[in-house]
Chain A
């Protein structure tokens, strides 16, 4: 290139801010389009439709998000021997996350993975663990969440959440939304009755009850998913 002959970049692109902005926009859109659009369309189909979260589980999930549990706990068992051994024998499937808005895979395990925590501990274990983690796990570094034992969920807020979730695409019918207050109480009361058996007295609308309902749901869809996988494998 001779002295006075400038490159195309220097002669044209660098002199036109609009052109440069357009080229930049094209450059940064390609990767996202190629990766996200197939996931948004094809990837949304799951091997089996699992039931959406119950109203109480929705309330509990909101508490899980509010307290920032994802900052320390993942919900993603990797297909690796050590992960599978440690966290209940199955790695995480896409269908298990189908109702997660927002997703809560997490990025750090300061505490153990929770993808398979449902059914692993009793309701009373969770209750006492939230009140004082050291009571259940002596060396735990987890903060105590004693306020969850005092604060109450608000049924009207849960109803609004269910409506918003339906708009976003969750399969809630009118009955579930209209009767959400009743459903909350019924499900909460089952946990309260169970806790009473361990000498714990609380009410159905306490936040910790909702959080327990959510935690006990985690990972419990895996049976239906592996069954569907087996059916599919048998059909091939």
Chain B
């Protein structure tokens, strides 16, 4: 081992002590990064479960985005509400949010977790039966959601709309997933837990706690229940849940996926092991406090609002720790970012993660929040996280996985490139239109005449936003179109008659 000269290489230098993990050590070829270790015959991984979850991700992703485009159209052009109760905005919007969060992002998490956990623990999942119960149970939950929400069966709490029997089912299926995951981790054939596994672990534990406590309710029928909390306590519990659904369903699992798939795709070890420790523990500790920033200027006690704001500001540090660790992992691979759609998507995803985790803390400052709250700025913020970070990271992961899971080269690199640009332009149109709409409406609401009276009638502020809503429809449709191009590309890949990748050399896989 040569003498190292910088602190960074010194961290890599420690790799021999931990040759069983792939996050430290000098840049090594993919064949040495855990799963295809020549010293250890490849265990019998269950890739079928990852394939099924990947298909579900793609299908539900398209459905959830389509519903999003429909409700965007309803805001730009009200007749799109059709006059049918089950197609009205108030019922479809929860369907959109639940579909993209729990169906698209959820299945994406499970795809990545099942694929990577087996490789990081170097063994098959603890129980194939549990894997199957998890898969079919989760899809059943999604179908039930798609039926009940348009029927108006709801708990009326954002992102926790699903009625109590479905909530019970979610809890059961989630615990099966947790047991299967922890069973695999405990029986692992490696010494160390790689950083991706820490993030998966935090996700599973925290979502269990959030889901159970936010949904405690007294049923009055099979479809109706009333929360045990009332008024502002209910609001606080809900936003403790709601904000941490963002944290532990849309952030920590995707950071875990980033920590596994980005080094794999870039063929570089993670930039800093120490940074990953610091940002993991600080992120999960700080995030849970930030919920009250959704209730600034409400009648919630001032101390709770201030605590929420303070912790939201502190969150910049661990969030950017994750972003930097991701982007700097690409050191030495930036030339490939120009040509490789997978790396391009990772870069846009991680950049939007950094952008929205800067924007979020800014919006939780009272003065900024007084302008942004209740406006489309919030929706722009959410979508820069959802379309940018979650969407792009998921696409990157799927483009990495499909050739490996179906053992065929990707059908069309050009189509992947097209998808990247459609998604990126769609995302920018969407977010910029709604930033503008949000700030416009916020300023118009607070506009006063010299005599102190309000300058704008509420309706004037609604009419002003319609052109932005049309741009949003366009942006969303473009993003959805990109997803459809991706699905077409995957179907062509899976059904192609090209020779299997595994027939070639190890290098072909990389």
Contacts and interface: CB of A to CB of B under 8 A. Distances in A.
Contacts of B155: 65, 102
B26 interface: no
A71 B93 contact: yes
In order of increasing CB-CB distance, the 7 nearest A-B pairs are: A68-B90, A97-B231, A164-B220, A31-B288, A65-B156, A143-B81, A31-B289
B373 to A, nearest CB: 8
A62 B484 CA distance: 38
Interface string B166-192: 000000000000000010011010011
Interface in A88-147: 91-94, 96-113, 137, 139-147
Contacts of B304: 35, 38-39
Given A102-B157, A143-B78, A40 B297 contact: no
B448 A20 contact: no
Contacts of A49: none
B263 interface: no
30 contacts: A17-B193, A21-B201, A21-B205, A25-B205, A25-B209, A35-B289, A36-B233, A38-B304, A65-B156, A68-B90, A68-B94, A69-B90, A70-B156, A76-B297, A76-B298, A78-B373, A86-B445, A91-B299, A96-B231, A99-B231, A101-B234, A102-B238, A109-B374, A142-B78, A157-B224, A160-B224, A161-B226, A164-B218, A165-B226, A168-B228
Contacts of A82: 445-448, 454
Interface string A155-175: 001001101110111100000
A3 interface: yes
Nearest to B18: A10
A218 to B, nearest CB: 14
A144 B83 CA distance: 6
A196 interface: no
Given A17-B186, A68-B93, 5 more contacts: A17-B188, A39-B304, A78-B297, A106-B374, A168-B228
Contacts of A113: 374
A142 to B, nearest CB: 7
B229 A101 contact: yes
Interface stretch (B106-114, B320-328, B333-341, B455-463): B455-463
Interface string B365-401: 0000010011110110000000000000000000000
B230 interface: yes
Give the contact-size bracket for chain A: 35 or more
B188 to A, nearest CB: 8
Given A92-B298, A97-B299, A164 B75 contact: no
A32 interface: yes
B39 interface: no
B212 to A, nearest CB: 12
A91 to B, nearest CB: 8
B93 A164 contact: no
Contacts of A229: none
B467 interface: no
A231 interface: no
B440 interface: no
Contact of B233 (A21, A44, A112): A44
Interface string A41-82: 001100000000000000000100111111110101011111
B298 A105 contact: yes
B285 A31 contact: yes
B439 interface: no
Given A20-B193, A27-B281, A66 B154 contact: yes
Given A94-B299, A144-B83, A39 B232 contact: yes
Contact of B453 (A14, A30, A85, A97): A85
A143 B74 contact: yes
B85 A102 contact: no
Interface of A: 3-4, 6-7, 9-10, 14-15, 17-18, 20-21, 24-25, 27-32, 34-36, 38-40, 43-44, 62, 65-72, 74, 76, 78-83, 85-86, 91-94, 96-113, 137, 139-147, 157, 160-161, 163-165, 167-170
B211 to A, nearest CB: 13
B226 A101 contact: yes
Contacts of A81: 446, 448
Contacts of A91: 299
Given A17-B201, A141-B78, A141-B462, A160 B220 contact: yes
Contact of A139 (B230, B453, B463): B463
Interface in B82-141: 83, 85, 88-91, 93-94
A139 B462 contact: yes
Contacts of A76: 297-298
Nearest to B446: A82
Contacts of A65: 154-156
Contacts of B17: 3-4, 6
A105 B413 CA distance: 47
Contacts of B246: none
B46 interface: no
B240 A32 contact: yes
A9 B370 contact: no
Contacts of B89: 68, 71-72, 143
A107 B289 contact: no
Contacts of A14: 192-193
A21 B378 contact: no
Contacts of B285: 27-28, 30-31
B14 A3 contact: yes
Contact of A17 (B182, B226, B301, B462): B182
A163 B192 contact: no
B219 interface: yes
B47 to A, nearest CB: 23
B311 A140 contact: no
A79 B297 CA distance: 7
A106 B18 CA distance: 50
B311 to A, nearest CB: 7
Contact of A67 (B74, B88, B240): B88
A51 to B, nearest CB: 14
